[in-house]
Protein backbone atom coordinates (compact mmCIF):
# COMPACT_ATOMS: atom_id res chain seq x y z
CA UNK A 1 0.00 0.00 0.00
CA UNK A 2 1.41 3.38 -1.00
CA UNK A 3 0.78 6.18 1.53
CA UNK A 4 1.78 9.79 2.18
CA UNK A 5 2.72 10.50 5.80
CA UNK A 6 1.01 13.48 7.44
CA UNK A 7 2.67 13.07 10.84
CA UNK A 8 6.07 11.79 11.98
CA UNK A 9 6.06 8.01 12.46
CA UNK A 10 8.99 6.43 14.25
CA UNK A 11 11.12 4.13 12.07
CA UNK A 12 9.05 5.07 9.00
CA UNK A 13 9.42 8.74 8.08
CA UNK A 14 8.41 12.36 8.47
CA UNK A 15 5.42 14.29 7.08
CA UNK A 16 5.47 14.48 3.30
CA UNK A 17 7.32 11.21 2.76
CA UNK A 18 5.83 8.67 0.37
CA UNK A 19 6.14 5.21 1.92
CA UNK A 20 5.23 1.70 0.89
CA UNK A 21 3.79 -0.32 3.81
CA UNK A 22 1.86 -3.56 4.21
CA UNK A 23 -1.88 -3.25 3.67
CA UNK A 24 -2.86 -4.13 7.25
CA UNK A 25 -0.45 -1.65 8.84
CA UNK A 26 -1.71 1.15 6.64
CA UNK A 27 -5.41 0.29 6.89
CA UNK A 28 -5.51 -0.55 10.62
CA UNK A 29 -2.94 1.81 12.13
CA UNK A 30 -1.76 4.70 9.95
CA UNK A 31 -5.01 5.72 8.25
CA UNK A 32 -7.40 5.60 11.28
CA UNK A 33 -4.99 7.69 13.38
CA UNK A 34 -4.56 10.26 10.57
CA UNK A 35 -0.83 9.57 10.37
CA UNK A 36 -1.11 9.09 6.61
CA UNK A 37 -3.32 9.55 3.58
CA UNK A 38 -3.60 7.29 0.56
CA UNK A 39 -1.33 8.21 -2.31
CA UNK A 40 -2.98 9.65 -5.41
CA UNK A 41 -1.80 11.95 -8.17
CA UNK A 42 -3.88 14.78 -6.71
CA UNK A 43 -2.20 14.34 -3.34
CA UNK A 44 1.14 15.42 -4.85
CA UNK A 45 0.15 19.07 -4.30
CA UNK A 46 -0.64 18.30 -0.68
CA UNK A 47 2.83 16.76 -0.29
CA UNK A 48 4.41 19.99 -1.49
CA UNK A 49 2.40 22.01 1.06
CA UNK A 50 3.46 19.71 3.87
CA UNK A 51 7.13 19.90 2.84
CA UNK A 52 7.05 23.72 2.60
CA UNK A 53 5.55 23.95 6.10
CA UNK A 54 8.16 21.53 7.45
CA UNK A 55 11.05 23.44 5.84
CA UNK A 56 9.78 26.73 7.27
CA UNK A 57 9.99 25.51 10.87
CA UNK A 58 12.88 23.06 10.55
CA UNK A 59 16.22 23.72 12.22
CA UNK A 60 18.84 23.43 9.49
CA UNK A 61 22.05 22.96 11.51
CA UNK A 62 23.55 23.26 14.97
CA UNK A 63 24.64 26.82 14.22
CA UNK A 64 21.09 27.70 13.25
CA UNK A 65 19.83 25.93 16.40
CA UNK A 66 22.13 28.01 18.63
CA UNK A 67 20.89 31.20 16.95
CA UNK A 68 17.29 30.17 17.53
CA UNK A 69 18.14 29.25 21.15
CA UNK A 70 19.62 32.71 21.77
CA UNK A 71 16.55 34.30 20.23
CA UNK A 72 14.22 32.18 22.37
CA UNK A 73 16.11 32.74 25.60
CA UNK A 74 15.99 36.50 25.04
CA UNK A 75 12.19 36.53 24.81
CA UNK A 76 9.84 37.59 27.57
CA UNK A 77 6.92 35.20 27.27
CA UNK A 78 3.76 36.11 29.15
CA UNK A 79 0.93 33.60 29.12
CA UNK A 80 -2.50 34.71 30.37
CA UNK A 81 -4.56 31.93 31.96
CA UNK A 82 -7.75 31.69 33.97
CA UNK A 83 -6.90 31.45 37.65
CA UNK A 84 -8.57 31.58 41.04
CA UNK A 85 -7.84 34.31 43.59
CA UNK A 86 -5.37 31.96 45.30
CA UNK A 87 -3.24 31.81 42.13
CA UNK A 88 -4.19 28.26 41.21
CA UNK A 89 -5.08 27.75 37.54
CA UNK A 90 -8.33 26.28 36.30
CA UNK A 91 -6.63 23.46 34.38
CA UNK A 92 -3.00 23.42 33.31
CA UNK A 93 -0.81 25.17 30.76
CA UNK A 94 -0.17 22.88 27.79
CA UNK A 95 2.71 22.67 25.34
CA UNK A 96 0.45 24.08 22.62
CA UNK A 97 -0.30 27.11 24.82
CA UNK A 98 3.42 27.75 25.27
CA UNK A 99 4.17 27.35 21.54
CA UNK A 100 1.43 29.89 20.73
CA UNK A 101 2.66 32.31 23.41
CA UNK A 102 6.23 32.14 22.05
CA UNK A 103 4.99 33.01 18.58
CA UNK A 104 2.87 35.91 19.93
CA UNK A 105 5.90 37.20 21.84
CA UNK A 106 7.79 37.56 18.57
CA UNK A 107 9.69 34.30 18.60
CA UNK A 108 9.97 31.71 15.86
CA UNK A 109 7.20 29.21 15.20
CA UNK A 110 8.00 26.12 17.23
CA UNK A 111 6.36 22.72 17.23
CA UNK A 112 4.33 21.89 20.33
CA UNK A 113 5.93 18.44 20.40
CA UNK A 114 9.35 20.01 21.00
CA UNK A 115 8.18 21.79 24.19
CA UNK A 116 9.29 19.93 27.33
CA UNK A 117 7.38 20.78 30.50
CA UNK A 118 9.14 19.11 33.45
CA UNK A 119 6.09 19.18 35.71
CA UNK A 120 2.59 20.44 34.92
CA UNK A 121 2.16 24.20 35.22
CA UNK A 122 -0.88 24.73 37.44
CA UNK A 123 -0.13 28.00 39.19
CA UNK A 124 0.47 31.65 38.42
CA UNK A 125 4.12 32.79 38.39
CA UNK A 126 7.40 32.23 36.55
CA UNK A 127 8.17 28.76 35.22
CA UNK A 128 11.13 27.41 33.22
CA UNK A 129 10.32 25.36 30.13
CA UNK A 130 12.70 23.51 27.81
CA UNK A 131 12.37 23.56 24.02
CA UNK A 132 14.26 20.82 22.17
CA UNK A 133 15.62 22.30 18.94
CA UNK A 134 17.96 19.47 17.92
CA UNK A 135 19.37 16.41 19.64
CA UNK A 136 22.09 18.47 21.36
CA UNK A 137 20.55 21.95 21.59
CA UNK A 138 17.82 22.75 24.12
CA UNK A 139 16.56 26.27 24.82
CA UNK A 140 15.33 27.08 28.31
CA UNK A 141 12.81 29.92 28.42
CA UNK A 142 11.02 31.58 31.29
CA UNK A 143 7.25 31.66 30.95
CA UNK A 144 5.38 34.11 33.15
CA UNK A 145 1.88 32.78 33.75
CA UNK A 146 -0.45 35.66 34.62
CA UNK A 147 -4.05 35.56 35.80
CA UNK A 148 -6.44 36.71 33.12
Residue 36: beta bridge partners?
5
Taking the C-alpha atoms of residue 73 and residue 62, their distance in angstroms, rounded to an integer, is 16
Residues 47 and 75 in one domain: no
Give yes or no for residue 58 having a pLDDT over 90. no
pTM: 0.61
Residues 108 and 69 in one domain: yes
φ/ψ (deg, to 5) at 128: -100, 130
Residues 143 and 91 in one domain: yes
Give yes or no for residue 86 having a pLDDT over 70. yes
Residues 69 and 137 in one domain: yes
Q: How many domains does the chain have?
A: 2
Residue-range definition of the domain harbouring residue 7: 2-57
Amino acid sequence: MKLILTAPVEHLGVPGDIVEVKDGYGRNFLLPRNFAITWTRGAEKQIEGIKRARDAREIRSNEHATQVREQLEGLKVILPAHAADSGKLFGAVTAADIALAVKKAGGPAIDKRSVDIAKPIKSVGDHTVGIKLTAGVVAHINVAVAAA
